[in-house]
Structure 1
Amino acid sequence: MVLTKPSDAPTETPKNRDPGFQQGVAVDLDVNQSTVSRTLITVSEAICSKRNNWITFPNTNDLLGVAINEWASTKRMPSVIGAIDCTHGKITKPRIHGDEYVNIKGICSIKNVQATCNAKEIFTSVDATWPGSVHVSRIWRNSLVHRIMYNNVQGAALLGDEGYGTAPWLLTPFKNPTTPIQENYNLIHAKERCVIERCFGQLKRRFPMLQYTFRLKIENIPKHIVSAFVLHNISKHLQDPYHDFDPVQMEVQDAIELIPEGNQPQIRNRGTQRRNDVALAIFRDVN
């Protein structure tokens, strides 16, 4: 039996809940809304427990070598293993430490949900734990992926947009290309880096909750986000098409000038030199 308030009783929306979706499911199943909430958490936790089975970043030299070859089989950027970017996870403003979740656009979010993907449009890492006010540079530098890339001896690199700082392991576009070599590099870089944007688009088509505002306890939101990433990879494994879902208008991230990696100018210089070498190499391939 579903317990309801008298029609003349004041309605109250519990903080950090999604009354619309959860209450609707509760009515359909003839259960209490709290039962739906607990079930959602239980299912999300069960899916998240399998994240290491379905979301894996190459963390050895051998696996990095395999990833480099996989990328090279369909793309032109040398020694690249994937792309990196961030997306917003909008939330209602928490009552405690709420300002920490307000991002640069003035929107309350778990931002940035940082993710990497490979050439097969499969996510290889995801981090959905940081409040909205945290700078992308801090998220990146504190991630396991950064440590792996920093220490890799294969010369592996990720593709990132101009919001990231250039490093030997993170190739970014030239901000103001002035030569045919730089223009050619930027063209190829944009074409190949958009794989991460396609992944985010597919993810949000499959799981519309990622397009809207989460109204859940703040500690439960990362579980739901990561669950979506896990299910995306399972769907790709099963070759489940995403084209039947409604199209998503992808948000455009604001480019932010970052402090050089680790505040070490020599790393940025090495990254700039490697980018120049890559730009020259791929330009020579077509000329």
Structure 2
Amino acid sequence: MEGQQQVRARRRRLYRERKDILNLYDDSELVKRYRLDRGGIILITDFVRDAITSPTNRSNAISAEMKVLTTLRYLATGKMQPCNGDDMGIAQPTASKVISQTLNALATPAFISRYIQFPTQQNDIRQTQATFREIANFPGVVGAIDGTHIRIVAPKEYEAEYINRKNYHSINVQVVFDASYKILDVVANWPGSVHDSRIWSECGLKEDFERGFLPGGCHLIGDSGYPCQPWLMTPYLQPRTEEQATYNRAHKCTRCVVERGIGQLKRRFHVLHGEIRVDPVKTTKIVMVCAALHNLCKERNLQLPDGQDIDLQQDVHEDQPDEANAFRHGEARDGLLFRDHFVNLYFQPEQ
């Protein structure tokens, strides 16, 4: 017995060989598998290196680069199996720990705010408005807003609050895009049962508009699930004049930006397409990190893996209340009056 114990003690642990992924694949293959090119992967690895590097090299410690690649592969596919099946030499339990550690390092205000910022400088605002106006001649737009549901496994706490109107568990994510499909703002911490208008009424971006942090003449564009306000333009549910009908057509065409933008985000990171099997707090981190990485991909001009940058996504918005119910959802009368004035000012028929 003693001899067997000594042999067992001397037996060396065997580790799977880990390939040098960054040098094994070219940029096109890296983007296909991990959604970022070599430069982008190194960039975010350097950003979180201190937070995720193992303190020692004992037990064949996983490098910071490998941890980032494992996390990116999970976000790109939404599955654990590819994370340990890409010759990375990482067992699935280890991959789960690695992903959790790396997401915690990325889901920080420092990283998120580096890539997701709402325009506040005059030059940036004017450029954003001009780009939106090129779509359908709708003036003053600085962002297109909508909500999208991210499916999650039934949480252990407050389970009923996460059941949305389509009867599955989700987080309702509010997102704002610019005309180039870059994310300007995202709120990802509300249960699926919460309506879009409630999320908007309590978000920081609305407070910025109310407090005048953004100059006059700036507004978002959203569907009828939102209250019409001077800084959030919604369509007429029953247009009564040709001017209102023209406004609605321009509004719909311009607002398609957010539908396509959410489609791009979910196509790029498939983890957002299926059911995320973690608790709501971790899901929020996943959504925020995916949003920031989406913008990084935009900055680096990286195309979607299949080469299709436009995809109308499904299940974007909530029920659309009628005009009378809008007041009960907090819609101020001055918003409706402002919209009428806006239409008379910008959508008069050509003489």
Q: TM-score range by the shorter chain?
A: 0.7 to 0.9
The answer to whether structure 1 residue 137 and structure 2 residue 201 are counterparts is: no
Structure 2 distance, partners of 1:74, 1:154, is 21
Distance change >3 Å, CA 25–CA 248, structure 1 → 2: farther
Q: Say if 2:132 and 2:141, in contact at 8 Å, map to a contact too.
A: yes
Amino acid at match of 2:341: D
The answer to whether structure 1 residue 94 and structure 2 residue 155 are counterparts is: yes
Give the TM-score normalised by the residue count of structure 2. 0.69
Q: Which residue of structure 2 aligns with residue 165 of structure 1?
A: 227
Q: Out of 269, 273, 276, which is 2:333 matched to?
A: 269
Q: Which residue of structure 2 aligns with residue 11 of structure 1?
A: none
Amino acid at match of 2:296: I
Q: CA deviation at 1:222?
A: 0.9
Q: Out of 166, 190, 193, which is 2:252 matched to?
A: 190
Distance change >3 Å, CA 71–CA 245, structure 1 → 2: closer
Structure 1, 70-79 or 223-232: larger mean CA deviation: 70-79
Q: Say if 2:118 and 2:184, in contact at 8 Å, map to a contact too.
A: yes
Q: Out of 58, 69, 75, which is 2:119 matched to?
A: 58
Amino acid at match of 1:82: G
What's the C-alpha RMSD, in Å, of the aligned pairs? 2.7
Please list the CA deviations of residues 69-104 of structure 1 after superposition, one character each: whole Å capped at 9, or x if unmatched: 554465522222111000011001112211111112
Unaligned stretches of 5+ in structure 1? 3-19
Structure 1 distance, partners of 2:302, 2:267, is 13
Please list the CA deviations of residues 136-175 of structure 1 after superposition, one character each: whole Å capped at 9, or x if unmatched: 2221111111101222242311000011111111100000
Give the TM-score normalised by the residue count of structure 1. 0.83
Q: CA deviation at 1:32?
A: 3.0
What pairs up with 1:186-265 in 2 under 5 angstroms? 186-242=248-304, 244=306, 249-257=313-321, 259-260=326-327, 263=330
Q: More helix per residue: 1 or 2?
A: 2
Structure 2 distance, partners of 1:245, 1:64, is 30
Q: Say if 1:78 and 1:278, in contact at 8 Å, map to a contact too.
A: no
Structure showing greater Rg: 2
Q: Out of 240, 253, 261, which is 1:178 matched to?
A: 240
Q: Which residue of structure 1 aligns with residue 180 of structure 2?
A: 120
What pairs up with 1:39-58 in 2 under 5 angstroms? 39-49=98-108, 50-58=111-119
The answer to whether structure 1 residue 105 and structure 2 residue 169 are counterparts is: no
Q: Which residue of structure 2 aligns with residue 7 of structure 1?
A: none
Q: Say if 2:197 and 2:329, in contact at 8 Å, map to a contact too.
A: no
Amino acid at match of 1:227: V
Q: CA deviation at 1:252?
A: 4.9
Structure 2 distance, partners of 1:245, 1:33, is 30
Q: Say if 1:68 and 1:81, in contact at 8 Å, map to a contact too.
A: yes
Amino acid at match of 1:107: Y
Q: Which residue of structure 1 aligns with residue 84 of structure 2?
A: 26
Q: Which residue of structure 2 aligns with residue 10 of structure 1?
A: none
Structure 1 distance, partners of 2:196, 2:114, is 26
Amino acid at match of 1:284: Q
Q: Out of 210, 213, 229, which is 1:150 matched to?
A: 210
Q: Out of 94, 112, 117, which is 1:35 matched to?
A: 94
Q: Say if 2:176 and 2:186, in contact at 8 Å, map to a contact too.
A: yes
Distance change >3 Å, CA 194–CA 286, structure 1 → 2: farther
Distance change >3 Å, CA 245–CA 226, structure 1 → 2: farther
Unaligned stretches of 5+ in structure 2? 1-13, 16-77
- Give the total of aligned pairs: 267
Q: CA deviation at 1:224?
A: 0.9
Structure 1 distance, partners of 2:350, 2:150, is 41
Structure 1, 254-263 or 102-111: larger mean CA deviation: 254-263
Distance change >3 Å, CA 150–CA 60, structure 1 → 2: farther
Amino acid at match of 1:88: H
Q: Say if 2:129 and 2:141, in contact at 8 Å, map to a contact too.
A: yes
